[in-house]
Structure 1
Amino acid sequence: MAEVANVYQDALQRVRAIGEDAGVSDEVVEQLLHPKATFCASLPLRMDDGSMRYFKGYRCRYNDVLGPTKGGIRYHPQVTLDEVQALGLWMTIKCALAGLPYGGAKGGIEVQPKELSPMELERLSRAYVRAMADVIGPQIDIPAPDVYTNARIMGWMMDEFEAIKRQRAPAVITGKPVRLGGSVGRDEATGRGAYLCVRELARRLDWEPASKRVAIQGFGNAAYHLARLLEQEGYKIVAVSDSKGGIYSEQGFDIESLWHEKQTSRSMRAVYCEQSVCQLIEHQEISNAELLELDVDLLVPAALENVITVGNANAVKAGHIVEVANGPIDSTAEKVLEQRGVTVVPDVLANAGGVTVSYFEWVQGMSGYPWDLETVRTRLAEYMTRSFDKVWDTAADEGRTLRSAAYVVAMRRIAEAVTAHGDREYFGDQGRKG
C-alpha cells in the first residue's frame, strides 16, 4: 500500500489546487495556508497510583475572519500537531460553507483514554482547560466533543473554565449535558446531518432506498445515528465496524440491536435483540480494510482520516461515498475515485450537522433561552439542505466535484470578509491615489 500523505500537507495541497480556479484572490488562499495561532502544552496528570505522567495537548485557532473559532477536542494516541492543524483548516471551510458566524479550530490530547480511570480522565480534562484557559472563551474559541470525548468531558471542561474565570460561561463549550446548558439534539446532530445529505443525494438521483446497500466504517455516536436513520428510511445496512474490525451480512443488520450490544459488551457482535434478550445472527467477520472494498451502493467512512489512499482507491466498489469522518480520503486517492466516476459527498458538508447544532447550543447559551427538539431538528434541516443545494448547484453549474464546489463556496464567503477588511486591490489603489 502506498505511503499515507501527511494529513496537514495534504489539506494544504487541496486548498492550493482548488484556490487556483476558485475565483478568489491569492491573498485569501495564502491566508488559509497559515494557521492564526497554535498552542502546545505538556499536561501533568497525577495518576491513581500516585505517579506523575505528562501528556501533549494542542489547540489550533486556525482562522477567525468570520467570527470566533470553533472546533472539537479529541483524545487519541495518534493526535499530532499536523493533524490538529489540518482539522482546524477543515473546520474553517466547514463553518464558512454552513453559513455559521465562526472560524475554524481544533484541539486534542495525545492519549489513549481507554487506559485511564474515570478520575484520571477528569483530571486530564481539567488540566487541558487550565493550559488553554487564556485562549478559549465564548467570543474567542469554543471547543466541543470529538473522537473519544463526550458530553460529560465537556461538562468538566466548562466547570473548570468557570472556576478559573470566576463566572458562569455556558457558551464557552458546546456538546455539554443538557442539564448543564447543552442543547437537545446535539448527540444525534452529526449523524442526522449526514442522513440529511444522503436524503438530498437520493432525491436528486431518484434512489429507491430499499434497493440500496450501505457499509459504514466506524460505529461511534455519529455512525450509529446515521445508520439508525438510514435503516428507518429503508436502506439495508450490510456492514459496520469499530476499531477492532467489522461484521458483514447480506441480509442486513438491526441497528438498535448492534448498538445495544456495543454499549453492553463493548464489542461489535452481529445480534438481534428483543428487549434484553439477544441472539447471534449469521454473519461474516471482516477487517476495516475489507469493509472499504465491499460491493455496496453507499460507503460511509466514519472513523479516522486517510483510510482511503491511492493504495486501495481502485478496490473501492461503492459508487457513492459520504464522508462522516474528517479527511478519510486523501487527495491522490480522490483523483482516482473521480476518474472512476465515484461521487463523494465531502466531510466539510456531510458532517457539518455537529458544528451546526453546536452553533445552536452557543446561541442558546448566549441568550439563556433553550430550544425544543423539534426546533433544533427543523433548523438543522434548513441549514443542511441549504448547504447541500448550494454545493450541488455550484458543482453542476461550474463542472466541479462536490468537494471542489464545497471549498469554492466556502472560500468565496471567506473572501467577502477579507475584502470587507481591505485586500491588496483596495490598499494598492489607495497607495496609487496617494
Structure 2
Amino acid sequence: MASTVGYAMLNTTRSQIIKTASLMRMNPVLTKSIIKPERTYSFKIPVKMDSGKNWEFDAFRVRHSTLRGAGKGGIRYALDVDLDEVTALATMMTLKTAVVGMPLGGAKGGVKIDYGVLDGKTKAMLKENIKVLEDLGYIDSSGLITKKFSSLKDVAEFDLGKYERLFAETKNELFNSLRDCLSPQRLSERETSLISRGFVDGIFDLDSNGIGPFVDVPAPDMNTNAKVMSWMVDQYLKRSVLEHKRFVDDSLFIELSKLGNLDFSDPTSTPYLNLYWSIVNNELFSGRINKQSVELAAFTGKPVEKGGSFGREKATGQGLFYVMEEMLKSQGLSVPSLKIAVQGYGNVGGNAARIFSSSGAKVVAVSDLWGGIFNPNGIDLTALDRYIAEEKKSGRQPKVSESGFGEKITNEELLTLPKKDADVLILAAAGDVITEKNADRVEIPIIGEGANGPIDAKADEILLKKGIKVSPGELTNAGGVIVSGYEGIQNLTTERWTLNMVDRMLEGRIKSSAKKVLEISEEYNVDWRTAASMLALKRLADAAIANYYATKGVSFTAKKPYKNYRGTFSEPETFEQLNLIIKNGDFLDLIKQTNQQKEKEISDIALKILDKQAKSKSQSPFVVLITGPASSGKQLFARKIAKQLSHKGSVHLVNMDITSNDEFINYIQQIPPTDFVVAEGDNALSTDILCKIESGNRFGIFINKAPSMTLSGKRILMSSDLRLVAEILDREIRTG
C-alpha cells in the first residue's frame, strides 16, 4: 500500500513536470522519458540488533536520471519512507541539479526504520495497559513494537477495537509516543553502522556498478550524516577491493587489498577509508599530487577529515538564504527589515534562521516536530541553541516549544500566522505540510521551500490565486547538492578548497540560478515554480536530445588531417594502413613515434607558456585556457600541460564544464599568485572569461585535432568512438 504522503508527493512532482512541459509544447514522448526513472532498487537489510533480535529493514534506491551526469541524491532513514516517496524525491533531484546547472542527475535512497522498543516514559504512561497493546498485536511481550503498528500511516488507522473507549482521550498521545520509539535517532551507533553498510551491500548484490562517481553518488539526508557516509564509503571500498573493481590509481587498490576481507568486530570503525585517506592526505600535505582520489567521489557529505568538503553541513541553509535574498530583492524588499518564521529548526532551518538573524532580520517564530514558539520581538537564537545542546548532552529530546523563549504555538499555528506577524515563511521540515486543507489560512506573503515538496499541487494553486509568492525547493534548497558537487570535484582532482572558496562559489552559482529563474518568470509571465521547472526541463530536454544523437552514432564531416608537426613521420589515415603496420610488426614503433611527436609539441607549448608567464606583472596566478570541440582530447592535453608546468610551480587543474564562469573567477582569486591554473572546457575561451583575466596573464589554446582515420564506407573515426570502444573493453575486463 502506497503511503499517502509519498504517493501525493510523487503525483505533485510529476504533475508539475507535465504541466510545465505542456506549457513549453514539449514532445510528449520526450516528457515521458524525462519523468520515467532509469533504475529502481528494492531490497532488505538484515541486521542483528543490540537486543539480539534479527530484523529486516526495507531499503530503496532510485536512480531517476543520468542525462546530465551521475545520479545525485541523499539517503534518508525514516519510518514513513517508501518507494513512492523515494521516487518523488529522486525526480526532484533531477530538476534541482538542472535548475542550478550542476553536471549531475537525480537519485534518492531510503531505509524504513521500523524497529523500536518501548521506552521508560511510554511504559509509565501505559502501566497495566501494556497488555492491551500486546493483545492487539502492536507490541510483543518484550516491549518490541511490531510491524503491525509501524505500518500505520496515521492515527486514523490505529484501530484499538474494543479498547477504543479506554484510550479515547489519550489515543493521539499514545500513537505519537509509540512512533517516537521508532525514531532512527534511538538506534545505537552499532545498529546504524550495520544498516548503513547493509545499504551498500544491498546495491552491490543487485548491481556491482550501481554506485560510483560517474553512475550514482549518494549523500546524507534526513537522519543521516557525515558519519553514516563514512561507513558507507568504507563498505564501498571494501566491496570494490573484494570484487576486484579497478581503482583509477592502481597503487591505492594494492594498498587496500592488503587489508583483505576484514571481519569487523567493530562495524563503526572505517579501516579501508582510513587507509585510503591517509595515503591521499599525505600527498595533499606534501604538495606532491601523484594519487587520484576518484573513488572517494562515490559518496559526498563525508567527514571533512576524511575527504569531505568544508561548508557542506551548512550549505543547504546558506544556499536558501542566498536564494531568498535575490527573490526578496525582486520584490523591492531587503533582509534587515523583515520578520521571518521558520518551520523546522534543524540543520537547514536552523542554519537559515541564524544567517537571517545575523543579516539583520528578526526571526519571530521557529518550530520542530513537537511544536514551536513565537516572539514578536525576535527569538534569541543563541540562547535557543544553547538550550538544545544542553538537552542533547543530558540525553533528553530537545523540544523548541519547551525552551521558554517565546509563546508556545503548534506547527499549524506557525504556518497560519497573520501577515502582520511575519513577512517570510521558511518551510524546512517535511513534505506536504501545506495542503488544500490549510492553504486558505496561509497569509505570509513570501514562502521559501527549504524542505522537499512541502506544498502539494492543490495548495500551490490556492496560494498562487492568493498572490503568495513561493520560491520552489528545486532552487531554494539546492545549496546542499551544489556543495556536494564541489566535494566530488575536489575528490576527482585531489584538491582541498578553503571554506571561503566554497562559500563564494556557492553564492555565485545559486544566486545566478535565482536570477535566471526570475528572468524567465518575468519574460514568460509565470510564477517562480513554473519558471524553475521551465529552466530545468529545457536543460534536461537538451541533454536528452544530445544523448539520443550521440547514441545513434551521428557523425560529422571533418577536415583532412593537418600536416604533421615538424617532421616526416606520417600517421595512418585508414584502418587498412593501420592493419598493415600491425602485420609488419611496426605497431610499437608507431606508438613510440606518435608519443615522441606529441610530447615534443606539448613541451614546446609549455615553454611558450612559461615565457609569457615570466613577462607577466600580474599579482594573480597565471591561467592557461584550453578549449576545442567535443572529444578532441582537452582533458588529456590539459593534464600533460599541467605536468610540464609542475616543474616550475604548483598547478591547479579545472574542468570548466562543471564550473560556472563566476565560480571559476572566484576560484582563481583564492590561488597563490606563484601558481598556475590550467582550465579546460567547451567555454574556456568565452568572452566572459577573457574579459575577466588580464591578457598578459593568460595563455589560450584551441585544440582542433581533426580525425585522421576513416572506417569502411568512408565514415570518419571519431575520438568519441574510441572512448566508447575503450569503455566496452573495460567493462568486459571488469565483468569477465
- Identify the residue that residue 651 of structure 2 maps to in structure 1: none
- Identify the residue that residue 365 of structure 1 maps to in structure 2: 491
CA separation in 2, counterparts of 1:416 and 1:191? 30
- Identify the residue that residue 413 of structure 2 maps to in structure 1: 290
Higher relative contact order (CA 8 A, sep 6+): 1
CA separation in 2, counterparts of 1:406 and 1:28? 18
Task: Label 1:398 to 1:147 Cα distance change in 2 as closer, same or farther (>3 A).
Answer: same
Deviation (angstroms), 1:223: 0.9
- Identify the residue that residue 386 of structure 2 maps to in structure 1: 260
Residue 302 (structure 2) pairs with residue 179 (structure 1) = no
Deviation (angstroms), 1:256: 2.5
- Identify the residue that residue 128 of structure 1 maps to in structure 2: 199
Match of 1:309 among 420, 431, 435: 435
Confirm or deny: 8 A CA contact 2:427 2:451 kept in the other structure: yes
CA separation in 1, counterparts of 2:321 and 2:537? 25
**Secondary structure, counterpart of 1:422 in structure 2:** helix
- Identify the residue that residue 209 of structure 1 maps to in structure 2: 335
Worse-matched range after superposition: 385-394 or 167-176: 167-176
CA separation in 1, counterparts of 2:62 and 2:324? 31
CA separation in 2, counterparts of 1:209 and 1:415? 36
CA separation in 1, counterparts of 2:387 and 2:26? 50
**Secondary structure, counterpart of 1:224 in structure 2:** helix
Worse-matched range after superposition: 204-213 or 27-36: 204-213
Confirm or deny: 8 A CA contact 1:24 1:411 kept in the other structure: no
| Runs of 5+ consecutive residues of structure 1 not aligned to the other structure | 272-279, 428-434
**Secondary structure, counterpart of 2:47 in structure 1:** strand
CA separation in 1, counterparts of 2:60 and 2:11? 18
CA separation in 2, counterparts of 1:241 and 1:346? 21
Worse-matched range after superposition: 113-122 or 358-367: 113-122
**Secondary structure, counterpart of 1:308 in structure 2:** coil
CA separation in 2, counterparts of 1:294 and 1:381? 30
Match of 1:145 among 174, 198, 220: 220
Q: Which amino acid aligns with 1:118?
A: E
- Structure 1 runs (4+) deviating above 6 angstroms are none
Matched residues, percent identical? Answer: 36
Confirm or deny: 8 A CA contact 2:384 2:405 kept in the other structure: no
**Secondary structure, counterpart of 1:6 in structure 2:** helix
Deviation (angstroms), 1:282: 5.2
- Identify the residue that residue 638 of structure 2 maps to in structure 1: none
Residue 239 (structure 2) pairs with residue 164 (structure 1) = yes
Task: Label 1:390 to 1:208 Cα distance change in 2 as closer, same or farther (>3 A).
Answer: closer
Confirm or deny: 8 A CA contact 1:215 1:299 kept in the other structure: yes
CA separation in 2, counterparts of 1:28 and 1:256? 50
What TM-score results when the alignment is normalised by the length of structure 1? 0.92
CA separation in 1, counterparts of 2:52 and 2:547? 53
Deviation (angstroms), 1:422: 3.3
Residue 461 (structure 2) pairs with residue 323 (structure 1) = no
Deviation (angstroms), 1:32: 2.3
Deviation (angstroms), 1:23: 4.2
Task: Label 1:412 to 1:253 Cα distance change in 2 as closer, same or farther (>3 A).
Answer: same
**Secondary structure, counterpart of 2:297 in structure 1:** coil
Confirm or deny: 8 A CA contact 2:448 2:471 kept in the other structure: yes
CA separation in 1, counterparts of 2:371 and 2:485? 34
CA separation in 2, counterparts of 1:241 and 1:383? 30
- Identify the residue that residue 155 of structure 1 maps to in structure 2: 230
What's the C-alpha RMSD, in Å, of the aligned pairs?
1.7
Match of 1:108 among 106, 110, 119: 110
Residues 330-383 of structure 1 deviation map (CA, whole Å, 9 limit, x = unaligned): 011000000000000000000000000000000001111110011101110111
Pairwise mapping of residues 39-58 of structure 1 onto structure 2 (< 5 A)?
Answer: 39-58=41-60
Residue 69 (structure 2) pairs with residue 67 (structure 1) = yes
Task: Label 1:130 to 1:25 Cα distance change in 2 as closer, same or farther (>3 A).
Answer: same
- Identify the residue that residue 88 of structure 2 maps to in structure 1: 86
- Identify the residue that residue 19 of structure 1 maps to in structure 2: 21
Deviation (angstroms), 1:281: 5.1
Worse-matched range after superposition: 127-136 or 311-320: 127-136
Q: Which amino acid aligns with 1:217?
A: Q
Residue 9 (structure 2) pairs with residue 7 (structure 1) = yes
CA separation in 1, counterparts of 2:198 and 2:405? 46
Task: Label 1:269 to 1:95 Cα distance change in 2 as closer, same or farther (>3 A).
Answer: closer
Match of 1:388 among 486, 489, 514: 514
Deviation (angstroms), 1:206: 2.5
CA separation in 2, counterparts of 1:84 and 1:261? 34
Confirm or deny: 8 A CA contact 1:74 1:149 kept in the other structure: yes
Deviation (angstroms), 1:198: 1.4
Q: Which amino acid aligns with 2:485?
A: Y
Deviation (angstroms), 1:24: 3.0
**Secondary structure, counterpart of 1:79 in structure 2:** coil
Confirm or deny: 8 A CA contact 1:28 1:411 kept in the other structure: no
Pairwise mapping of residues 210-249 of structure 1 onto structure 2 (< 5 A)?
Answer: 210-249=336-375
What TM-score results when the alignment is normalised by the length of structure 2? 0.55
CA separation in 2, counterparts of 1:159 and 1:260? 34
| Runs of 5+ consecutive residues of structure 2 not aligned to the other structure | 114-182, 242-252, 254-275, 277-294, 392-396, 554-736
Task: Label 1:422 to 1:118 Cα distance change in 2 as closer, same or farther (>3 A).
Answer: closer
Q: Which amino acid aligns with 1:289?
A: E
Deviation (angstroms), 1:27: 2.7
CA separation in 2, counterparts of 1:59 and 1:76? 14
Confirm or deny: 8 A CA contact 1:326 1:347 kept in the other structure: yes
Deviation (angstroms), 1:160: 0.9
Q: Which amino acid aligns with 1:291?
A: L
Confirm or deny: 8 A CA contact 2:372 2:401 kept in the other structure: no
Confirm or deny: 8 A CA contact 1:63 1:92 kept in the other structure: yes
**Secondary structure, counterpart of 1:159 in structure 2:** helix
CA separation in 2, counterparts of 1:191 and 1:66? 25
Task: Label 1:205 to 1:10 Cα distance change in 2 as closer, same or farther (>3 A).
Answer: closer
**Secondary structure, counterpart of 2:219 in structure 1:** strand
**Secondary structure, counterpart of 1:105 in structure 2:** strand
Q: Which amino acid aligns with 2:82?
A: T
**Secondary structure, counterpart of 1:309 in structure 2:** coil
**Secondary structure, counterpart of 1:73 in structure 2:** strand
Worse-matched range after superposition: 282-291 or 88-97: 282-291
Worse-matched range after superposition: 292-301 or 209-218: 209-218
